[in-house]
Copies of this chain bind each other. A is one copy, B any other.
Amino acid sequence: MLDERKIRILQAIVDDYILTAMPVGSRTLSRKYMKELSSATIRNEMSDLEELGYLAQPHTSAGRIPSYLAYRLYVDRMMQVGHLRKDEVQQIRNTYDARIHQMQETLSAAARAIADSTNYTSVIVPPESSGFRLRHVEMVPVSESSALLIIVTDLGVVKDAVVRIPDGMPAEQLHMLSQLITEHLQGCRLEDIATLLPDMARELHMHQELFGQVCEVVQRQLHREDGASLLVGGATNMLAHPEYADLDRARALLSTLESKDRLYQLLQRSRGLQMTISIGPEMDIPEMRDCSLVTMSYTLGGQDLGMMGVIGPVRMNYPRVVAVLDTIRTTLAQALGESTGPPPAEG
């Protein structure tokens, strides 16, 4: 059904179409890729491939373009992942500024690096904070009746929020309370704190209201599922590709990218999977019918942190994108390791 030669021809078509974005004709194929076959032979094979559903003709007298099925076959069985040149890897490394020590900033540097290296659009989902482990809680008075609550975990400051405090509570007492919480809950997962904290408050019979507020802040941090913190890089890179020469389509896509909620949902589907490739219609989002998404998870000390991805035209340079993501995955782990201290293993 799909013999060796058909596969070779199909691969050549996909490769060429990825390169040029133009329908590929039999003559071109014979000249550029397979001199030993005549165009007529290739025509026959192409005709077969079309019947099998791997190729499509925009119109009768044009060359063929790969169908989604062809891309699926391509990424599953035909493509060979590329390698980045040394200097390209070095350039990516350089984007992690040694002076930044906050995860958010490191991730956003990574997002930019991906976008620059691929000329597509990148997305990064920051880690779910539920698995973070508490390192320190501190409350700092900011007025007579309010204080700034700062929650520090093994991966940096997670949240700072204003809480109401009993009028005139001295800084000293706030610190003691903070210390109390810190000592009791240090090393616990944020997720568990939401339940442990109320228990603790009950036991102590004091400041239930304040503890409640702290609890609420943690809760809100955990349920921040709106993709508000999604990092997108190079959104306008999409405009550089001919599939978005049509302004209306370009606008539709860009506004989809701007409203990060749907993107977040999309990335969430691949959560935890080492690598996924979704091609066009497989994503079930009308505006992204002509896009593909390549995702990869990133880790720290063997622990899954979050997802990153590249969005580009279906006619995406998959080998290169995979190579870039792979490089980022490695360099990101190093950068995060440096910026957050030792791995978050023990308690």
A residues whose Cβ falls under 8 Å from a Cβ of B: 99, 101-102, 135-136, 138, 140, 142-143, 146, 148, 150, 152, 154, 156-157, 160-162, 175, 220, 234-236, 239-240, 245, 247, 250-251, 254-255, 258, 339-342
Would you call B135 and A140 a contact (CB within 8 A)? yes
Would you call A146 and B341 a contact (CB within 8 A)? yes
Could you tell me the distance between the alpha carbons of A138 and B146 in the complex, rounded to whole angstroms?
18
Chain A contact surface mostly: mixed
- A150's partner among B142, B157, B235 (CB-CB below 8 A) is B157
Would you call B140 and A342 a contact (CB within 8 A)? no
Would you call A140 and B138 a contact (CB within 8 A)? yes
Copies of this subunit: 2
- Could you name 18 residue pairs across A and B whose Cβ atoms are closer than 8 Å? A99-B220, A101-B160, A135-B140, A135-B142, A138-B138, A138-B140, A142-B154, A143-B342, A146-B341, A148-B152, A148-B157, A162-B340, A162-B341, A235-B236, A236-B251, A236-B258, A239-B247, A247-B247
Could you tell me the distance between the alpha carbons of A129 and B340 in the complex, rounded to whole angstroms?
25
Could you tell me the distance between the alpha carbons of A152 and B156 in the complex, rounded to whole angstroms?
15
Q: Please give, as numbers and ranges, the residues of chain B lying within 8 Å of A341 by CB-CB distance.
A: 142-143, 146, 162
Query: A26 to nearest B CB, angstroms?
Result: 32
Would you call B247 and A102 a contact (CB within 8 A)? no
Query: A118 to nearest B CB, angstroms?
Result: 16
Would you call A251 and B247 a contact (CB within 8 A)? no
Could you tell me the distance between the alpha carbons of A346 and B150 in the complex, rounded to whole angstroms?
24
Residues A148 and B156 in contact in the complex (CB < 8 Å), given A236-B258, A245-B247, A255-B236: yes
Q: Please give, as numbers and ranges, the residues of chain B lying within 8 Å of A234 by CB-CB distance.
A: 258
